[in-house]
Amino acid sequence: MSFLYIKALHIIFVTTWFAGLFYIVRLFIYQTEASERPDPERSILVKEYKRNTKRLWFAITWPSAILTLIFGTWVLMHVPAYLKEGFMHIKLTFVFMLYIYHLICHRIYKQLQNDTYKYTSQKLRIWNEVATILLVGIVFIIVLKNAMSMLWGLVGLVAFTVILMMAIKIYKNIREGNGKQK
């Protein structure tokens, strides 16, 4: 198989993996909020969220994570010189953190499937943004590649993270304000 096909497949599965990670945590949030509703609404919604979460997690997110790893390893085997580059070590560190994030999401998934709610919807909203921060970091590292650009990229990533957290806080305040007006 041509190297470019392998690289394209790697990018495709990275994309579907991130789509799964972004949506799975949204489903966690919805299920957590549904668990606080009165019956019969609670039982109907929780059952539906559990079903949708299971489908997404095992039909898209896990397979995409595995295929990302396979095709990413294949790319590195095809171009071993990448492993000598400093930017690749930083990228792989972020990717490792992304797999840790994935495994933590799996733990949350199992807890919610067992009706164990350890996190509020607000904490899950913040958790949802961790994948965004990792995505931004990985993309900037792989595109910029040199140390000075990466330094500015890191400054940008920190600024992006701060802005994201402020946006979450503002959104929470707006949501709570709208809830009080009802």
ω before 40 within 30° of 0 (cis)?
yes
Give the global pTM. Answer: 0.83
**What's the pLDDT at 32?**
97
Please give the structure tokens belonging to residue 173.
């305040």
Is the CB of residue 127 less than 8 Å from the CB of residue 119? yes
User: What are the sequence ranges of the domains in the chain?
Assistant: 3-181
How many whole angstroms separate alpha carbon 54 and alpha carbon 113?
Answer: 9
Known binding residue 78? Answer is no
pLDDT tens, 121-148?
989 998 998 999 899 888 888 887 765 5
- CA 10 – CA 14 distance, rounded (Å): 6
Is residue 10 a known part of a binding site?
A: yes
Contacts of 14 (CB under 8 A, 6+ apart): 64, 68, 72
* Cβ burial, residue 72 (10 Å; 0-12/13-18/19+): buried
CA–CA dist 49, 98 (Å, integer): 24
CA distance 86 to 149: 13
Q: What is the pLDDT along the chain (182 residues), one digit of tens a residue?
A: 698 999 999 999 999 999 999 999 999 999 999 999 999 999 999 999 999 999 999 999 999 999 999 999 999 999 888 888 888 888 999 999 999 999 999 999 999 999 999 999 989 998 998 999 899 888 888 887 765 566 676 777 778 888 888 887 888 788 777 766 54
Residues in the chain: 182
